[in-house]
Structure 1
């Protein structure tokens, strides 16, 4: 028996809207995957390239490199579909997906049956393979998704749908898949948590200057190991990994009824998760050896990362926990990558006696119209909700109102306050308690602040 793919009924209307005479349209299938089933939450048309040199660009969604006089290039043949362009589109869309959601495959709207032609079939397989390989280059973004990919072909003349599944790392053969449109494919359970950061990462003085990009990659790697070893507790108490998430929800709902506090509708409520990161296991080992490490700088990562994920109604506690872990690392890695790509000049090493404040983009959420699942966008300082709407239109082919952008989940930091405190020498009591070796700590009070990090340069710092 092949895979079963469930999709919202409204997505069929979307496919019909993409029919354009003899043109070909390619896009991404987004959703959640299980062993035998896929739940599709959205179909996102890949924007056609404006010119040949745009195909070489790695940032879809940026209009800075698109000459205004270049007309949009319509794809007249499946052989003209730019594979790398679609693969790059998949990478940027994956950044916007919550943990536990992936690019499940591709769809194509064409005036032919693409699977009846050997060359067309091979082209579709090549696109899927390129997407998979491109995402696997960034494990924090990709997460762990060993499922088969799906390919949906929609004949714009006969309006006939054909779906196949394809394992990139398997035999390479296509299998029949059953695509089903339904009014409600599943009940989605929403999980929310936040992760507080307040940690110093030493930059070892080994005679070589690592770039800021390399330093941040090391921080991501360290954080990933901590998150993998962390304990995720949903609704306040540990639960068996094979327990269904709907069981937890039903218990919460019953408890609320008993407390007579169930005014809100269930689909607007969340399950709360807490993350416990274990202490360093090596700290308990006795050792008489004292090791001095010379450092020429340190990076202090401080702030709060907000996480919101969704799982289908038959998901287990283990699947929910994995989705939360994936969401945290996907969000963190996306911010850092966007930040170092935005730097005009690469920062090699860190200057002595210099303090630099870096602000990676903060997270905002936008709900999909058909199922209310929220996707992410990331806004740099000075950017507003309008930029998120542009990204949503270009990358996901969705139009929403600015009022639907949830922009207050992470608040933007005022850098002026940081520098004023530094110049005046006044520190909050909590900040003074955390200060070590006269290092300046950028202390952030309150909840829901954006994830930021401070690069602190010092002469020599000794760690024990």
Structure 2
């Protein structure tokens, strides 16, 4: 059976704008794969390669570029790095499904060209597989798409190539690519997951590694979220049931009540963590030097094909939360000047970037803004990584609020005032003197109360006596 891929018509227009100018382009195919249907949501051109001395891990922005004239001059590492950055912007359940090429040469007929295609796909798979919490590689299939449009004939051809095989064996299959004039309908699932956990910290001779601590938090969060149970609109759904079936039931229920209320365009998702009421037989005690209080709310917006099942939606929501944490932790650590926190730093505050949404077609992808950054920073990422022009008004910045630092400021003031405190010996002497004075005051008050009547009689006699 031939694999069929559905794509909106604006993807065809995107290819034609480069093919008509006879421009060589290589880029990424972004989409979603389910058991019932495979959808492509967007094609993102890979930026021109930057010089090694001008590009950083967290940014593609640079003035110096090396323009590739054909596929053989493209660096597979550069395309893979583009795929890694774009994966951070994808919601759960969506992946880099392959690459597209516009060129005059037939990349499937030329052995050198096709060999380069395979190298790029294998390198992307390898890079995205490094961080398991990024969920870079689609778990449902090892086949990656290769879409080619000839700049001379404007003919489209698509095939799939298997990646990840230990012996690098190549299985090539034909793919039927269908451009759909009607915009694909997506079901949006929104979830707000709150974290409020305390983790132990052990100070080593080299200090505390921020990246290591974040990795431990990520591992713990992954175990917790994977064990959680998902409720949709407050109800526990059957995992084998399709999303469109739930929508139909809602429409039927609404029509039966003869109401004019529309069916909500979004489904509210809640994750509940089962309570474990069992303790291990032996409890290990760990001597710690401090603790990390990890607190905040992760906003999740996932878009699923209506034919997808509830089980696939559950996986996508959990992927989205963990992928978002892994993305912002990595970005935060890359932005640090020094990864180590020295032991003498008693209080330290780390604020990873917050999530914002950017529109792509009929769905939203995401970007991350560091504290103090404006939506204009998101426009740069969208233009560089997605080859998309949007305005600041299009960026949705209120899905996550900036961190509340009031509690940290109070702790910081307490820590900074330690130098003004008395030494333990001075404090002990002060408390001793204060205690004596307080005891004397209590004794005097008690005597006055006890002999109140006697004292008052004496005072009245003294005041009534006449002196001549």
TM bin, normalised by shorter chain, reads 0.7 to 0.9
Match of 1:344 in 2: 337
SS at match of 1:194: strand
2:266 equivalent to 1:270 = yes
1:173-184 matched pairs, under 5 angstroms: 173-184=171-182
Match of 1:295 in 2: 288
Question: Structure 1 residue 261: deviation in Å?
Answer: 6.4
Distance in 2 (CA, whole Å) between partners of 1:209 and 1:262 is 62
Deviations along 1:15-52, one digit per CA (max 9) or x if unpaired, are 11123755421000001012474200000000111436
2:18 equivalent to 1:28 = no
- Cα 1:195–1:117 shift into 2, 3 Å: same
Distance in 1 (CA, whole Å) between partners of 2:392 and 2:296 is 26
Match of 1:124 in 2: 117
Distance in 2 (CA, whole Å) between partners of 1:188 and 1:213 is 36
Distance in 2 (CA, whole Å) between partners of 1:193 and 1:176 is 38
Distance in 2 (CA, whole Å) between partners of 1:229 and 1:240 is 17
The structure in which a higher percent of residues are helix is: 2
2:356 equivalent to 1:361 = no
- Cα 1:97–1:260 shift into 2, 3 Å: farther
Deviations along 1:308-363, one digit per CA (max 9) or x if unpaired, are 001111100000000000000000111111111111112245435x2111110000
- Cα 1:262–1:337 shift into 2, 3 Å: farther
SS at match of 2:5: strand
Match of 2:199 in 1: 201
Q: Is the 8 A contact 2:202 2:208 kept in 1?
A: no
Match of 2:135 in 1: 142
Match of 1:456 in 2: none
2:17 equivalent to 1:13 = no
Distance in 1 (CA, whole Å) between partners of 2:218 and 2:309 is 27
Match of 1:284 in 2: 278
2:381 equivalent to 1:391 = yes
Distance in 2 (CA, whole Å) between partners of 1:237 and 1:420 is 41
- Per mean C-alpha deviation after superposition, the further-off stretch among 319-328 and 110-119 is 110-119
- Cα 1:176–1:229 shift into 2, 3 Å: same
Question: Structure 1 residue 256: deviation in Å?
Answer: 4.6
- Cα 1:52–1:297 shift into 2, 3 Å: closer
SS at match of 1:88: helix
- Cα 1:301–1:261 shift into 2, 3 Å: farther
Gaps of 5+ in 1: 426-464
SS at match of 2:338: coil
Distance in 2 (CA, whole Å) between partners of 1:319 and 1:144 is 15
Question: Structure 1 residue 290: deviation in Å?
Answer: 5.2
- Cα 1:94–1:144 shift into 2, 3 Å: closer
Match of 2:449 in 1: none
TM-score w.r.t. structure 2 length?
0.82
Distance in 2 (CA, whole Å) between partners of 1:366 and 1:412 is 18
- Cα 1:296–1:14 shift into 2, 3 Å: same
Count of residues in Structure 1 that have an aligned counterpart in Structure 2? 410
- Per mean C-alpha deviation after superposition, the further-off stretch among 30-39 and 222-231 is 30-39
Work out which of the residue numbers 144, 150, 154 in structure 2 matches 1:155: 150
Distance in 1 (CA, whole Å) between partners of 2:359 and 2:52 is 34
SS at match of 2:117: helix
Deviations along 1:152-183, one digit per CA (max 9) or x if unpaired, are 01101100001001110344121110111012
Q: Is the 8 A contact 2:129 2:137 kept in 1?
A: no
Q: Is the 8 A contact 2:186 2:306 kept in 1?
A: yes
Match of 2:100 in 1: 107
Deviations along 1:262-300, one digit per CA (max 9) or x if unpaired, are 555x5x720111101123x4x41464x554321001111
- Cα 1:261–1:386 shift into 2, 3 Å: farther
- Per mean C-alpha deviation after superposition, the further-off stretch among 306-315 and 134-143 is 134-143
Distance in 2 (CA, whole Å) between partners of 1:422 and 1:60 is 32
- Per mean C-alpha deviation after superposition, the further-off stretch among 185-194 and 150-159 is 185-194
Question: Structure 1 residue 210: deviation in Å?
Answer: 4.2
Q: Is the 8 A contact 1:23 1:74 kept in 2?
A: no
Larger Rg: 2
TM-score w.r.t. structure 1 length?
0.83
Question: Structure 1 residue 403: deviation in Å?
Answer: 1.3
- Cα 1:243–1:10 shift into 2, 3 Å: same
Work out which of the residue numbers 163, 166, 185 in structure 2 matches 1:168: 163
Match of 2:228 in 1: 230
Distance in 1 (CA, whole Å) between partners of 2:284 and 2:114 is 60
Question: Structure 1 residue 404: deviation in Å?
Answer: 1.4
